[in-house]
Amino acid sequence: MALATLLATVAASVSPKLFLIFIPYVIFLIWRRHNTLFLITLLLLILLTAWRTHTTSQLPTTLPSTIQLTFQDNTKINGRTLRGFAMSEYGRVYVAYAIESAKQKEQLENTALTGLTIHAKGKLTEPNKPLHRYQFSMIDYLKSQHAIGIYDIEDFNVIRYKTGIMTKLGRYRYTLLKHIDETFPESLQAEAKALLFGDQRDIDSDLSRAYQVLGITHLFAISGLHIALLGGAFYQLLLFCGLRLHHAKIILLIALPIYAVLAGSSASVWRSAAMTMVVVLLQLRQTKLTAADALSLTFIGFVLYNPSVIYQVGFQLSYLATVALIYSTKILMTSHWLKNAFFLTFVCQMLVYPLLLHHFYELSLSSFFVNILMVPLFSFIVLPLNIFFLMLSYLSPQLNALFLSIYEPLREHLTTFLLWMSKQPYQLWQPGKPDMLWLGIAMVGVFILFLAFEKKRYIIASCTILIPVMMLEINPLLNDELRITYLSVGQGDCTIIELPHRQGVYVIDVGGVLRFQDEAWKTSDSPYEVGRQVVVPYLKGRGLTTIDTLILTHADADHVEGAEEVMQSLRVKEVHITPNSSQKAVMKDVMDEALRQHIPVRERMAGYTFNKGEVGFSYIWPRDTTYEGNNDSLVLKVSKGAFSTLLTGDIEAEGESQLLDDKTLHTTILSPGHHGSKTSSSEAFLQTTQPQLAIFSTGINNRYGHPAQEIRARFDANSIPTLNTAEDGTIEVIVKDSWYVLTNR
């Protein structure tokens, strides 16, 4: 029933015509089953779901310049920007507001924004398209949240607080979070807010990455286990206080949705709370219901209320993990607790692993073992202690402070241990983003795996795991194409070269942001990181976990600032730099990270060449060891047969003129120097290189005006077609017997 609703929702959200194709599925069910009433109900439910999905997908594309907005319980202030969701009479919007002063920021931080209604002046803007297909997509995120778009607030006036129980609970949640900030040590605040109220915004980014590597991020998201523990403890407390079973269940029915709101109203919270409520409600009516039916009913309810929820990653993982537990009870029925703990983790991971690879391109292998230790530790020690500390902070703040002073160093030792564990090698399987065919095969394989385990056919079970894994691992080795990717990194440069049969991966520059010292109140807690947020997702999406050589053409922030983040996220075998550029301030973090990881850093000059298979690499500049800036950029030529590409860094006309005597300068594709500035791409240089295509790497609406109009005109005059990452997104050149170009737009 839930599966039918899911399929109907997806079909209707894509196209009404696609939904019509879904009708034969219902006819097939009627033919196979004889419960006519059930099937009529199912058909009506599917039609209702499809109608609801199609109508709610028709969101407005424009909004007035002045509207009323009511903030919801998920706004965040980061630096000088306020962001979050708000409701308007036209629907849900994602709001963004640039805070004007330190005083206004302080006022906003000390105001419970949930339920606050404002009269806002602004405009609806389209979210930026992702720079490549593996980057986080704001467009898809807004779709999953059923939001119209981004509303940029220019100015606003406070009108009133919205009345209602949800607003009051949201404001009370804000009060509880503030109370934790005031009574808990700083090192324990983020954990307490995440475990008790589902607020993960303050978790340290390094810790968050460590939890991802270990596969334990779910411990900090309020899930079914949290609800079961808290609900069960609360229910037993009611019985201990002398309440009758009937009354205790009624109070539990009231308490669960209240806590779901206080816990942040995430999909996983409402799923587990709703399942418990359905079971308790039917117990009160003395009606039996299986866990699978309860799960199906809550799923249907969610989809009817908000069809867009099926696109939320948390919703997908939450339901799949629960399905795994429900339908694998026979596997979990072992006599030994350690076996049960392992199989519990194994079952959940196996059912969700295709989805994890689809969304995140990697899978934590250590999670199978780490969770055996950490799930009981967090569930039965860390979580109860945080509940105890919160309650005691109201009853006796002094005694609570004493207990926290004892607990804090113990918890810090656990954090240190987890950080150490996360830095151990070979914990992640990173095959890249699988295609839809593989996803389908893997999901079918998972169900066969469960059936094989139940029947103790372990050879079949092993095959259902190994076959999809081998498909992902072997496929890149069979690919005989040379792929050159001109990655869109904004106003910067990054080129990725993948050799045929995955013989090697070379990254030339990594983009970056030129950062300026700003006032403290404007400084972001989580600044934009090109390396971590653009370059690494692309490499992981392609399944590229090892970089043979990271080549940094010169010491400019827009070419090297993201290098440290790349080195922290992936294995880098060596780094090539232009002579004496390591002394520049912008290179300090890169050199420090290379030293920490014992990565060799080598200076390269003209004349250094090497080959890997059929692909040749030749440095043709610089010719001396003096480093003065752009004109001392490393210039690299990459060749395969008759095809070649010339990567020129930020070399300008002065440097170009000294290259004109090089007989190997002719190239198929040219990456023009300095992003197409007026000072590069001289007429003589174009006449000498004679490229068939030029690819500029620039940012949208960049303040430098790159590429300059006169430079574009020069390329046009020489009949050289051009592409630009600002307009075309990430550009991929595929080289085999011939070559062709793919763009992201």
Burial bucket for residue 505 (CB in 10 Å: 0-12, 13-18, 19+):
buried
Residue with tokens 């424009």: 62
pLDDT at position 78 over 70: yes
Q: Nearest to residue 621, comparing CAs of 709, 630, 546?
A: 630
**H-helix or E-strand containing 314?**
helix 313-326
Q: What is the dihedral of CA 68, 99, 92, 171, to 10 degrees?
A: -80
Strands (E) across 252-307 are located at none
Integer CA distances (angstroms), 441 to 2, 4, 504, in order? 21, 20, 29
Task: State the average pLDDT over residues 56-73.
Answer: 82
Kind and range of the H or E run holding 547: strand 546-547
- Asked if pLDDT for residue 303 goes beyond 60, the answer is yes
| 17 confidence band (pLDDT: 50, 70, 90) | very low
pLDDT recorded at residue 493: 95
Average per-residue pLDDT for the chain: 87
Give whichever of 165-169, 349-353, 620-624 has the largest mean pLDDT. 620-624
- Kindly state the tokens that stand for 730: 């990430």
Average pLDDT over residues 698-712: 92
Tell me the per-residue pLDDT of 579-623, one tens digit each, with 9 for 90 and over. Answer: 999 999 999 999 999 999 999 999 999 999 999 999 999 999 999
pLDDT value of position 21: 44
* Residue 345 Cα distances to 160, 215, 704, angstroms: 48, 10, 53
Does the structure show a pLDDT above 80 at 528?
A: yes
Rounded to 10 degrees, what is the CA torsion of 468, 470, 472, 477? -160
Mean pLDDT of 349-361: 88
Alpha helices in 361-503 (DSSP H): 367-377, 383-395, 397-422, 436-454, 458-478
Mean pLDDT of 267-277: 83
For residue 634, is pLDDT > 50?
A: yes
Domains along the chain with CATH numbers: 2-56 (no CATH), 66-163 (2.40.50.140), 174-327+365-429 (no CATH), 482-516+527-743 (3.60.15.10)
The answer to whether 570 and 547 have CB atoms below 8 angstroms apart is: yes
- Asked if residue 496 lies in contact with residue 507, where contact means CB atoms within 8 angstroms, the answer is yes
pTM for the whole thing? 0.89
Q: What residue has token string 């169900």?
A: 447
What pLDDT is recorded for position 735? 96
Task: Name residues whose C-beta falls within 8 Å of residue 351's C-beta, 6 or more positions apart in sequence.
Answer: 320, 321, 323, 324, 446
**Which pairs with CB-CB distance under 8 Å and at least 24 residues apart come from 254-263?**
255/231, 256/227, 256/231, 258/169, 259/227, 259/230, 261/73, 261/166, 261/169, 261/170, 261/173, 262/169, 262/172, 262/173, 262/176, 262/197, 263/196, 263/197, 263/198, 263/222
310-330 pLDDT, tens per residue? 788 888 888 888 877 777 766
Three-state DSSP at 38 gives helix
Prior bond to 579 cis, omega within 30? no
What are the φ/ψ torsions at residue 483 (nearest 5 degrees)?
-120, 120
Cα–Cα distance between 56 and 306 in angstroms, integer? 8
What is the pLDDT at residue 50? 61
Quick: pLDDT tens for 529-586: 999 999 999 999 999 999 999 999 999 999 999 999 999 999 999 999 999 999 999 9
pLDDT at 60: 76
Overall average pLDDT of the 398-407 stretch: 96
Contact 553, 509 (CB under 8 A): yes
Distance CA 693, CA 123 (A): 39
37 has pLDDT over 60: no
Q: Which of 609, 554, 563, 606 is nearest to 583 (CA)?
A: 554
Backbone torsions φ then ψ of 341, nearest 5 degrees: -60, -45
pLDDT attached to residue 18: 44
Q: In which residue are the tokens 């011939």 written?
A: 738
| 420: nearest Cα among 187, 213, 564 | 213
Asked which of 391-405, 519-533, 560-574 is least confident by mean pLDDT, the reply is 519-533
**Closest listed residue to residue 687, CA positions, set 653, 715, 649, 652:** 715
Contact predicate 324/69, CB 8 Å:
no
pLDDT at residue 567, as a whole number: 96
**Whole-number Å distance between alpha carbons of 494 and 191:** 37
Report which of 724, 719, 554, 738 is spatially closest to residue 636, judged by C-alpha positions. Answer: 554
Give CA–CA dist 48/43, Å, rounded: 9
170-229 tens-digit pLDDT? 889 999 999 999 999 999 999 999 999 988 888 888 899 999 999 888 888 877 778 888
pLDDT at 166: 83
- The whole-number pLDDT of residue 192 equals 94
Cis bond upstream, residue 307 (ω within 30): no
